Each structure stands twice: as structure tokens, then as C-alpha cells.
Structure 1
């Protein structure tokens, strides 16, 4: 597989900027109010493997929730860039099934990823259409890496009343924690039916995360031990990000022939 092409840069409102690559339709950077809001590992592999950071598209399978490749194939496929209105700061990419995808997942589909910048916010939308003659199901996520100054001072609000599945403990069901989420060591959780807006508080900086069409939320940080052993991450890099993912995992999306599904995640700078 060829290495991903050079990033596409797009100027947004109020001196904001987006960077993305058609490889995986992956956002790599979003600068807003003079700060980088997404995390991209300094050791990210751009040779054709999954890129560590930004916003990888997880489709048609989240993790091992299905018989196919872990986290699906969309993040390591070349998508095609779609034309957009030059007056609107938007990027769009499409992925259609082909012989290689059908060897992994035997369905006809089209997926379209759109990213649009507005003042102080970024909208990321994913649309999936069933182009075949049979129904299919899939799980999906926007695996969003959010940059933070120092993980030790970060808290995530909005999940205090939600029970969760602990993926770091073989998917064990756990009760709601009743307090904002802090990050100490490895954390890998699926929050079913997490529909309330979330607020990532990093010192004086607050980012609100909203989602539509994605019923679940995933929160992940590898912790120091795992990060040190990851070739495309490295020691102490876990202190620079938190993954807050809009997802549909617990109840997969089911599409009849001709039907479409759309999900959207919005990142909103509050301070």
C-alpha cells in the first residue's frame, strides 16, 4: 500500500485551520483560538498503517465487536476527496466497497465523511448507505484524540450517572461512578446510551463534545505502561491526550437495502 499523500489544509473561520488526509478520511489537526485541539502522535506511522491520533474512522467494526479485522478497514483505506462549496470551510471524503473490502466484509456500501469548521466548533459527520440487495449491520466510532496540556489535571464531565463496560477488564459491567471522570492509569470504557453533552476540562480550557446518531461514548487512555510499549506512541505521550469517541457499539446499526444512517460529533470550544 502506498504511503498517505500530503495532508490537505483548509482555512476556517477566525484563523482556525483543519488538516486531513484522504488515507482513512482522517482529520489530523484542528487549530482553534490559537491552540491545537486534536492530538497527533509525534511517532505516528504514515507508511500505510493506521495513523495514531487525529480522528480515525472506525468502520464497519469497533474493536472485536464482530468477526472482521479489529477496528475495521476504513482507517487504512484510501478514500476519495469530494468537491465542496468553496464558500464553506468543509472537507468531504467517500469510500465505496470494492473487491478488497468485500473480502473482509461482504457488503456493498458507501461511506461519506464530512468535516466542517464554524466559529469555535468543528462538526464531523459520517454517513453510511447500503448499496446492496441484503441488509447488513455494523458498529462504528469516531476515535477522536483530544489534546490536553497534562492528563493529571484533566476531568471529563457528563458521564457521572452512566454505568459502563470496562474494556480493560474484559468488558465487565460497572455501576455509575457518580463523580467526573479522572485519568489514573489505563482507562478503556464504553458508556452505553451516553446522550448528554460531555465537557473535557483541562485547566482553564473547556471543550464540549456533543453527538447525534451515536448512542454510545467511548473514553480511552492507555496509561503509562501501555503507552511506553506502543511503537507509534511512546513514553509519557499518554499525558497529552484523551480519546472521547462518539460510537454505536452496544446496539449495532442495521440498514436495509437502500437505507442510510448518519452520525455526527461536534467539538465546541467553550474556553
Structure 2
């Protein structure tokens, strides 16, 4: 046998793949659930494409969901992250949206799961899962089309990572007529005690105080919640500058916006919570705070073929 000086070495054994992010679809309940190998999870209903749960690796819930929330598609969901489009609240003086229900129709429409994508690494340090949902004018009921007869499509993406949760939206005018709209990611954050919470990052910002006759005011300092609060801020800083929620001086959430100029801060407090049938428990206002990224102070006009993009990233 000829002795070969450069013998080929044995092939190395192919290492096993690391655990992969998982996506499960419950067709009966219309729910999409995703989890990371490290334990983080997210649940989204196709009804409204509403995120109803987001948990960290230890199983701690990060979103507040009313115990009386209807998850059967019978009404808008109280809690989680509903999508507000094409109108924020009601706009009786805006002809195109004056007939629409509170907060529009996106949160009460059935969306379609368009697809999923994952990223992994051997060390799982950057594993994530992205879920894409779609809604278009073609999928709306005739009743809704009659109220808002524009041709559009929306792609809404929810990305779960170890660092946090990102939600983004792309709205495209697919028709031949321009339209105006508003959009808001109506995020209910779960907190331990509202009396210990402060919000920073909005200092120096103008805001509309909806509890005080829609007066225009300016935020001079850190925000503390001591009564019913319903404010629409237009921050003076770049959207990439975080709005930070702290409890007893320690950060519990950070919200970074992308393309969304406004921030709504809302807590119903005692009387308002008592007046809402689907807000349970009635003292649940102590354990939630809405910090909502959106574009709602003015109207965004989209000409035919134009698109609007915006999003937020919530970390803890």
C-alpha cells in the first residue's frame, strides 16, 4: 500500500442544531403563538392582529389584559396591543372617518397570517421570530367598506426577541384616490403598582390633555400618574430617543419609536375604570399603563401608491 503523506482526515461529526424558535397556530381559536428556546413567548389573535400576551423567559407577563376582555371576536379587545386605524378615537369633523366606530376597524377585523421567519445562532444570543399579518380592503365586510371605501393593504409585523418585542406596520394606498388616516399601537403595559411609576423622555414636549378639555400644554418634568390621565404627546426629541417607564427608580420598560411621532399616555384611574364594563378587575388600573406609539395628532395623507411605515420596540 502506498503511504500517502496527505491523507484525508475523517469528516467531523455534524453538530446537532441548537433549539429553534417555535410557532404554533390554533385554527379553532384563531391564535398564533411563538416561543424562543430561552423561554420568551408571544400570543397574537387573528382577530384584530391583537397581541394578547408577551412573557419574558421567566414567564412574567409584560402586557395587561382585562379579565373581562372578549377574545371571541364579539368586540374589541381590552388590553394587549390593539391596532388603531384609520382613526384615533372618533372624528366627527373629519368627513372620511366620521362614520367609523371608536378607533376604527383594524382592531375588530380578522387578519391573515402571511408568514413567519426566524433567526438563530449557536449560542441563541440573537434568536428571534417574526410574524407577519395582513389586512386589506378586499377582506373587509361590505358594511365597513361602505363606511370607509378606500383601497388599501396593511402588513403588520410582530418580532419576539430576547431583548423585547417589536411591532411595525406598513400601510399602502392601493387605490386611485388619496386618503387620510391615523394609526396607533395601543399598548397596555403591565406594572406592579401605578403609584410607584414614572415616565421620562417626554420632558419639554407639547401635549393635548384630553381630560382637561383638550387643552394644549407642555410637559415640564417627569410624568407621575395620580389621577385619570389621557394625553397625546408630540415629543420634542427624535423618535429613536426612548420613552422610559420606571418603578421605584428602576427601569421596567423602554419604548423606542420608528416613524411614529406621537405618544399617548393613558390610565383610566378609578371612575373611568368603573364605567367600562370590559375593564376587570376594577382596580386593574393600578397594574397597567398605556404608553402608545402612533401618528394621531394630525392626519397622514397617502396619495395613490404611497405607503406609510411606523413601529415601536419595547424592551425591559
TM-score, structure 2 normalization: 0.80
Q: What residue number does 2:61 align with?
A: 36
Q: Is the 8 A contact 1:154 1:201 kept in 2?
A: yes
> Matches of residues 183-198 of structure 1 in structure 2 within 5 Å?
183-193=225-235, 195=239, 196-198=241-243
Q: Is the 8 A contact 1:209 1:266 kept in 2?
A: yes
CA pair 180-193 structure 1, distance change in 2 beyond 3 A = closer
TM-score, structure 1 normalization: 0.93
Does residue 1:155 correspond to 2:201, yes or no?
no
CA pair 17-71 structure 1, distance change in 2 beyond 3 A = same
Q: What residue number does 2:268 align with?
A: 222
Q: Is the 8 A contact 1:30 1:37 kept in 2?
A: yes
What is the aligned-residue RMSD (CA, Å)? 1.6
Q: Residue 86 of structure 1: CA displacement?
A: 4.8
Q: Residue 84 of structure 1: CA displacement?
A: 1.7
- 1:74-114 deviation per Cα after TM superposition (whole angstroms, max 9, x unaligned): 10010111122255512221111133332121200011111
Give me the whole-angstrom Cα distance separating, in 1, the residues matched to 2:164 and 2:268: 27
Q: Residue 225 of structure 1: CA displacement?
A: 1.1
**Rg: which structure is higher?**
2
Structure 1 residues not aligned, in runs of 5+: none
> Matches of residues 63-142 of structure 1 in structure 2 within 5 Å?
63-65=89-91, 66=94, 67=98, 68-87=100-119, 88-97=128-137, 98=140, 99-142=142-185
Would you say how many aligned residue pairs link Structure 1 and Structure 2? 265
Give me the whole-angstrom Cα distance separating, in 2, the residues matched to 1:86 and 1:158: 32
Give me the whole-angstrom Cα distance separating, in 1, the residues matched to 2:304 and 2:144: 18
Q: Is the 8 A contact 1:13 1:118 kept in 2?
A: no
CA pair 104-13 structure 1, distance change in 2 beyond 3 A = farther
Structure 2 residues not aligned, in runs of 5+: 1-27, 120-127
Give me the whole-angstrom Cα distance separating, in 2, the residues matched to 1:210 and 1:158: 10
